[in-house]
C-alpha cells in the first residue's frame, strides 16, 4: 500500500541545507498497525508529513496505492488527503468555533457532499467513537479524550484506507490515552491501516510493527511475532 524508496528531504535554512531524511525506504502493507519511534529531531515527523501528503520529498519516490505521489500537484495532494488519509494530531486540531458534529463534517465539505448528507454521515461516526450525546458541544466544552475522539471521527468520516496519528495520546492522561489507543486498535482490526508516531513505549507495544528512526535514517524495523 505504501512504498517509500530512497526518500531524502532537505530544508534550506538561510545559507545552509539541512538534511532531515537521507535514504529512507519503507513498505507498509494494507491492514498493518505501525509505530514510528525516535527521539525528537530524528525526522519521524517528516516521515509522517511525507506519508500524509502534506510535504513532498526532495528526492526519491513515494508510491501510495500504486500511484506515484511525489509528482502530483497541490490540488491532487489535497484530494488524496481528503479521501485517502485521515489525520489525528497530538493537539487534536479541532476548529474551535464549530460543534463536534460540524468538525466531523469538514472533510465532507471538501469532498462536495451536500449539507444534509454530511449530517447523516457524520452522526454515525460520532456514535462509533461513543460521543453521540455530545455532538452539539464545542471543543472547549469537551475533555481532552473526548476531543481526540471527535478528531478520530473526523479522520474516519470519508472512510480513508490510511489513518495517520501523530502522538495521539501525547496530550492525554493515561486513562483517556488508553481508551484512544483501544479505539485505534479496534479500528485496525476492522481493516484500517494505521501509522502512529510516538515517544511512548507503551503505545508502541500495542502495535505489531515498530520502526525506529534516528538522524534521518531507519535504525531498526521490527515486526512482533
Partner 1 sequence: MNFIETFRVAFEALLSNKIRSGLTMLGVIIGVMAVILLVSIGQGAQVYITKEMTGMGTNLLIITPGKTSTRGGFHPPSAGTVRKLTYDDSQALRRRAWLLTDAVPLVFGTGKLKFQNMGRDIMIIGTTPEFQRVRNLFVDTGSYISQGDVDSKSKVIVLGTTVKEELFGAESPLGKVVTLSDARYRVVGVMRKKGTSLGMDVDDIVYIPVTSGQELFDTDSLFEIIASTPRADDVDRAIAQIKDVLIKRHAHKEDFTIQTQGAMLETMNSILGVLTAVLGGIAGISLLVGGIGIMNIMLVSVRERTREIGIRKALGARNMDILAQFMIEAITLSGAGGIIGILLGVGIALLIPMFVTVLPTSVSLWSIMMAFFFSAAVGVFFGVYPARKASLQDPIQALRYE
Of 31 and 89, nearer to partner 1 (C-beta) is 89
Of residues 1, 72, 106, 185, which one binds partner 1 by CB under 8 A?
106
- Binding to partner 1, residues 156-185 (CB under 8 A): 158
Of residues 29, 30, 68, 115, which one binds partner 1 by CB under 8 A?
115
The 12-41 site mask, x for binding partner 1 (CB under 8 A), equals ------------------------------
Q: How many other C-beta atoms can be found within 10 angstroms of the C-beta atom of residue 25?
A: 14
Of 126 and 204, nearer to partner 1 (C-beta) is 126
Q: Determine, following the binding rule CB under 8 A, whether residue 117 of this chain makes contact with partner 1.
A: no
Of 111 and 132, nearer to partner 1 (C-beta) is 111
Tell me the closest approach of the beta carbon of residue 15 to partner 1, in angstroms: 20
Of residues 3, 32, 55, 178, which one binds partner 1 by CB under 8 A?
55
Give the binding site for partner 1 (CB under 8 A).
Answer: 49, 52, 54-55, 74-75, 78-79, 81-83, 87, 89, 93-95, 97, 106-107, 109-112, 114-115, 154, 158
Amino acid at each position: 500500500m505504501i512504498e517509500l524508496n530512497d526518500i531524502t528531504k532537505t530544508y534550506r535554512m538561510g545559507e545552509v541545507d539541512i538534511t532531515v531524511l537521507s535514504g529512507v525506504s519503507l513498505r507498509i502493507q494494507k491492514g498493518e498497525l505501525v509505530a514510528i519511534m525516535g527521539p525528537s529531531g530524528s525526522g519521524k515527523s517528516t516521515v509522517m508529513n511525507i506519508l500524509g501528503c502534506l510535504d513532498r520529498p526532495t528526492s526519491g519516490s513515494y508510491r501510495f496505492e500504486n500511484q506515484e505521489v511525489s509528482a502530483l500537484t497541490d490540488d491532487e495532494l489535497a484530494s488524496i488527503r481528503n479521501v485517502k488519509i485521515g489525520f489525528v494530531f497530538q493537539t487534536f486540531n479541532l476548529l474551535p468555533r464549530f460543534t463536534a458534529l460540524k468538525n466531523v463534517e469538514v472533510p465532507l465539505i471538501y469532498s462536495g457532499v451536500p449539507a444534509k448528507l454530511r449530517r447523516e454521515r457524520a452522526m454515525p461516526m460520532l456514535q462509533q467513537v461513543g460521543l453521540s450525546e455530545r455532538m452539539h458541544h464545542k471543543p472547549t466544552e469537551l475533555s481532552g479524550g473526548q476531543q481526540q475522539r471527535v478528531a478520530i471521527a473526523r479522520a474516519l468520516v470519508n472512510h480513508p484506507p490510511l489513518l495517520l496519528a501523530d502522538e495521539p495520546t501525547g496530550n492525554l492522561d493515561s486513562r483517556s490515552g488508553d481508551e484512544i489507543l483501544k479505539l485505534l486498535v479496534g479500528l485496525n482490526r476492522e481493516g484500517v491501516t494505521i501509522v502512529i508516531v510516538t515517544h511512548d513505549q507503551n503505545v508502541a507495544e500495542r502495535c505489531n510493527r515498530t520502526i525506529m528512526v534516528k538522524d534521518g535514517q531507519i535504525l531498526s524495523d521490527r515486526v512482533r511475532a
